[in-house]
């Protein structure tokens, strides 16, 4: 899967106005503006009862360029109201670009934004913006102090690869700390800076963390997670009851990887657990089309929320034709799994307010080749949750330990490739006669000591259009199958399918462009192509209403 780099410029297209926005594949309940290009979610925050989402936006066209910080507000992260852009190129320190960054709430309930500017020398520098009037409940205007830039790329730092400051955190020593993504040769790095007054910053000698062979680290994120419970933590919390998550977006791979580990503040050192691979096969928030993610602490509901950018998989000329490109995922609550090895993710509970007409199935037997349609719902705009039971795990095929890349494995073993246990799951955005469908499914293998579960999204038949990307995505699922039970949830939204396996242990987001399975002509099926029968213990599906979206 190849997602176009967020800084690749198409001069001939970047300022073309959309004459008419094409709605065929526009999502209904995912975040997007009425038209034009969007990418990275920036500085999400909860402030005085209002959720704010800023995002990279081209006001003049539907490819990357002319980037400003667009700004929308909400009271529930489902319905959104647009405001004027909050940050745009206007000063010597950002005249050539206002790129990604994060929000920090300073003592005294004062929000600030740290962001990357591209200055007159075309260096990437780190700047600060503050609200013009904190009594404005919507924080509509932001100003840039004259003491910008705060941080510049000196001492051998590559000035063209130095960007995306994190939310800052306050240590027990009274020093603020922030990370900036960078690289040295092919070693990705999270550079660490400290400040006493949030104005003057100095670089710590060593990166907080780095890894060889990973390339440029974009959009780093660093935050604590509680060892027990699902509640979130303010970013500065660091005590015996927490671990820390370090997430980076690998520019070379175009995926978001994270590690769970320990943060030793006195040494300014982060040490990943041995359960988190410190290489390109790290844990991922999402094994599909998902990049440049950002979390924030929602103090209103005591949870940590994750946003991620979902790019198009269509051609650039078609993005120009339809007049828009890019969406954000449904915001997800994230917390640490009881095992301590990985995060769990789940759509925020507010998404349920969009549920309408529902259908429920119970104890449906799916023999080899079994197929059952889920109806009557609007299958192009739906939320579906189901739980499978596997009666006989002994018939699982042997797992080859050389199968280390789940995406490659899913590409070889698509939905039509019969196995022992699986593939079984959903055919989403399917045409009536199955000329088109996007499958989301599981396969179960017999490993050396335990069963190995593979979750896939096979897009090979997602569209009859030959020119669009149709990758297979996949991730392994660390789930206990002693009871033979596994769950799946999919949010289906015209051209987006967000799926959550085993209550959020493995997540896959796909972008697809059917030409038959659209609108009222889209169908939803549960299926089993394994030789062993499986049972749907329960299935619930809902039509999803359209919220107020910008």
Sign of CA dihedral 135, 140, 145, 151: positive
Q: What percent of the chain shows pLDDT beyond 90?
A: 93
Three-class SS state of 408: helix
Domains in the chain (CATH in brackets) are: 36-347 (2.115.10.20), 355-544 (2.60.120.560)
Per-residue pLDDT band for 19 (boundaries 50, 70, 90) equals low
**Strands 176-184 and 169-170, how do they pair?**
antiparallel
How many angstroms separate the Cα of 370 from the Cα of each of 367, 422, 426? 5, 11, 11
Note whether 85 and 550 are within 8 A (CB).
no
Average pLDDT of the chain to the nearest whole number? 94
Q: What one-character DSSP code corresponds to residue 173? A: T
- Proportion of the chain in helix, strand, coil states, percent, rounded to 5: 5, 45, 50
Angle, alpha carbons 382-348-389 (nearest 5°): 60
What are the tens digits of pLDDT across the range 327-377? 999 999 999 999 999 999 999 999 999 999 999 999 999 999 999 999 999
User: What pLDDT shows up at residue 4?
Assistant: 42
Cα separation, 275 vs 443, in Å, equals: 23
**Where in the sequence numbering do the catalytic residues fall?**
40
The pLDDT of residue 447 is above 80 = yes
Three-class SS state of 35: coil
Three-class SS state of 353: helix
Q: What pTM was estimated for this model as a whole?
A: 0.95
- The pair of three-digit structure tokens given for residue 227, joined into one six-digit string: 């060892």
Cα separation, 313 vs 469, in Å, equals: 5
Residue 320 has a CB neighbour count (10 Å cut-off) of: 20
Cα separation, 539 vs 542, in Å, equals: 10
The pLDDT of residue 443 is above 80 = yes
Residue 301 has a CB neighbour count (10 Å cut-off) of: 13
Note whether 99 and 249 are within 8 A (CB).
no
């Amino acid at each position: 899967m190849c997602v176009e780099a967020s800084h690749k410029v198409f001069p001939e297209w970047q300022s073309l106005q959309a004459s008419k926005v094409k709605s065929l594949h526009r999502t209904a309940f995912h975040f997007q503006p009425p038209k034009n290009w969007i990418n990275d979610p920036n500085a999400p925050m909860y402030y005085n009862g209002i959720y704010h989402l800023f995002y990279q936006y081209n006001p003049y066209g539907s490819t990357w360029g002319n980037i400003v910080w667009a700004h929308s507000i909400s009271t529930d992260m489902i319905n959104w109201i647009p405001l004027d852009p909050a940050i745009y190129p206007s000063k010597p320190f950002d005249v050539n670009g206002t790129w990604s960054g994060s929000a920090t709430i300073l003592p005294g309930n004062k929000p600030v934004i740290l962001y990357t500017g591209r200055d007159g020398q075309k260096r990437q520098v780190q700047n600060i913006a503050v609200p013009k009037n904190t009594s404005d409940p919507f924080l509509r205007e932001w100003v840039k102090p004259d003491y910008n830039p705060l941080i510049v790329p000196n001492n051998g730092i590559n000035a063209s690869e130095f960007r995306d400051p994190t939310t800052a955190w306050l240590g027990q020593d009274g020093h603020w700390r922030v990370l900036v993504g960078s690289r040295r040769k092919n070693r990705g790095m999270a550079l660490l800076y400290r400040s006493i007054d949030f104005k003057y910053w100095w670089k710590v000698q060593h990166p907080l963390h780095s890894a060889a062979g990973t390339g440029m680290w974009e959009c780093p994120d660093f935050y604590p997670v509680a060892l027990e419970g699902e509640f979130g933590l303010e970013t500065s919390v660091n005590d015996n009851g927490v671990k820390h998550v370090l997430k980076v977006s690998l520019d070379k791979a175009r995926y978001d990887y994270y590690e769970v580990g320990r943060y030793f503040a006195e040494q300014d050192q982060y040490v990943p657990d041995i359960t988190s691979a410190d290489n390109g096969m790290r844990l991922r928030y999402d094994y599909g089309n998902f990049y440049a993610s950002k979390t924030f602490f929602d103090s209103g509901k005591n949870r940590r929320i994750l946003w991620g950018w979902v790019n198009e998989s269509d051609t650039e000329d078609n993005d120009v034709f339809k007049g828009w490109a890019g969406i954000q995922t449904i915001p997800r609550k994230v917390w640490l799994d009881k095992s301590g090895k990985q995060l769990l993710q789940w759509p925020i509970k507010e998404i349920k307010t969009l549920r309408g007409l529902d259908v429920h199935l119970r104890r449906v037997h799916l023999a080899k080749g079994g197929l059952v349609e889920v109806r009557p719902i609007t299958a192009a705009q739906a939320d579906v949750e189901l739980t499978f039971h596997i009666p006989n795990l002994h018939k699982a095929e042997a797992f080859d330990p050389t199968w280390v890349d789940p995406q490659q494995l899913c590409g070889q073993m698509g939905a039509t490739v019969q196995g022992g246990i699986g593939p079984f799951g959903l055919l989403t955005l399917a045409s009536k006669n199955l000329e088109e469908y996007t499958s989301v499914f599981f396969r179960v293998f017999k490993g050396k000591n335990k069963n190995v579960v593979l979750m896939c999204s096979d897009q090979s038949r997602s569209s009859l259009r030959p020119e669009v990307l149709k990758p297979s995505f996949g991730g392994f699922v660390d789930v206990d199958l002693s009871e033979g039970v596994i769950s799946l949830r999919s949010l289906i939204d015209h051209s987006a399918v967000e799926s959550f396996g085993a209550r959020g242990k493995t997540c896959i987001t796909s972008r697809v462009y059917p030409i038959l399975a659209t609108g009222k002509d889209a169908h939803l099926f549960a299926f089993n192509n394994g030789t062993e029968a499986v049972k749907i213990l329960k299935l619930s599906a809902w039509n999803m209403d359209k919220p107020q979206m910008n």
